[in-house]
Amino acid sequence: MKALFVSYGGGHVEMCLPAMRALRERVPGCEARLLALTTAAGVARRAGEQPLAFRDFCTGPDAARALAFGEQLIGDQQHPDVTREESLAYLGLNFLEWVQALGEEGAWARWHARGRQGFRPVRLMTRILRELGSDVVVATNSPRSEQAAIEAAHALGIATLSMVDLFALPGDPYRERQVHADRITVLSEGTRRNLVEAGVDAARIVVTGNPAFDDLSGPQAQEAAARLRAERGWGERPVVLWAGHMEPEDADPRWAGAALGQAVQDLLLREVLARDDACLAIRYHPNEWHRFTPPAAHPRVHWSRPDREGLLPVLAAADVVVVQATTVGAQAHAAGKKLLGLSFSPLVQRSGMDYGRLGLGTGVPGLEALPALLAQQLAAVRRDAPAAGPRGGAAQRVAQEIAELAARPPGHRP
């Protein structure tokens, strides 16, 4: 059996890696490969995988033209955890697909209107799937190339499975897609209900949990937390984790882009360092951390670089976690951490990913309210808090669904 996983970075590749390992255990001889998009490649390599990337498919008579377009587009698109060669191939192959469909003038118009957020390279994914001879394609709910892989596989009659990381709330673009995978695995019964209410066929949906959450409360997490605390000399001091990300550029100027993240970072630095009994870990989204300014070195402050360190150590070591609209909030809740969700974040308001309203944490209505709420949470820290989420097994359940799906003839899939 040949299974191709297609994933972007952040929480998406963290879902795929354990599911790949579980699939290999379940199906001896299974060839489970990962097409790692942008920052997912570095994460996969550090996990011992040998991922494929767009540059592996930048071949043939159009390769030089694609790379030339990549050179024109790269500008500030280069990420420190993505090789220049991969960035050129990713941008160039996606743009070339627009050129082939719209002509060069139309492609440039689309780029200026939507940028890389408009990419969905179905034609390229069709070629990749034919070259690899995949029997099943697995992706997450991430858009662009992941969705293109699902659409290409659907057209080729290849079995497909998508893993939905969180809640599929109203407003989530995933609910509105015209093409869904044959099988959709979801975090919870609530996610399943949300998708069914959006018109997704209930027969496609299976509640498995999120594979990225499997290790949050087990021995691996405890060991990672103890190791980080020992390396930093933090002992048993309470730890605050700020897990931030960029905001939309068209948001309130006070918060647009990196502004909210930097404002929260500055406030947390003041509040934590004003105490003598607390420490602060700062970690931004793997695709965006390089857009933020690191704080001055301090023994009670840890700047967590996603290109060098996984999420697990800082999340496991944390007692209080502060987030906007990120999977880390759900992970923190599942691991029994105290969670502060920034309800005033423009992205939270647009997405509905308000952890306070979802009942998974405490909502922070404005930046000025954060110090008092943080003090309350720190005063209530207890290390024996039980995990709120399911204890492991999601990767095995997803692997079972993949294996069963791939074994069925096309006419017997949902």
What is the pTM (predicted TM-score) of this model? 0.74
Quick one: pLDDT at residue 56? 94
Kindly state the percentage of the chain with pLDDT values over 70: 96
pLDDT digits (tens, 9 = 90+) for 201-212: 999 999 998 998
Quick one: pLDDT at residue 412? 56
- 10: confidence class by pLDDT, cuts 50, 70, 90: confident
SS (H, E, C) the chain: CEEEEEECCCHHHHHHHHHHHHHHHHCCCCEEEEEECCCHHHHHHHCCCCCECHHHHCCCCCHHHHHHHHHHHCHHHCCCCCCHHHHHHHHHHHHHHHHHHHHHHHHHHHHHHHHHHHCCCHHHHHHHHHHHCCCEEEEECCCCHHHHHHHHHHHHCCEEEEECCCCCCCCCHHHHCCCCCCEEEECCHHHHHHHHHCCCCHHHEEECCCHHHCCCCCHHHHHHHHHHHHHHCCCCCCEEEEEECCECCCCCCCCCECHHHHHHHHHHHHHHHCCCCCEEEEEECCCCHHHCCCCCCCCCEEECCCCCCCHHHHHHHCCEEEECCCHHHHHHHHCCCEEEEECCCHHHHHHCCCCCCCCCCEEECCHHHHHHHHHHHHHCCCCCCCCCCCCCCHHHHHHHHHHHHHHCCHHHCC
Quick one: pLDDT at residue 352? 85
Mean of the pLDDT values across residues 5-11? Answer: 91
Look at 399 and 187; give whichever has higher pLDDT. 399
Quick one: pLDDT at residue 188? 84
Mean of the pLDDT values across residues 79-97? Answer: 90
Mean of the pLDDT values across residues 105-128? Answer: 93
- 52: confidence class by pLDDT, cuts 50, 70, 90: very high
Residue 387 has pLDDT above 70, yes or no: no
Tell me the domains of the chain and their CATH numbers.
2-213+392-412 (3.40.50.2000), 219-379 (3.40.50.2000)
Residue 279 has pLDDT above 70, yes or no: yes
Mean of the pLDDT values across residues 32-52? Answer: 93
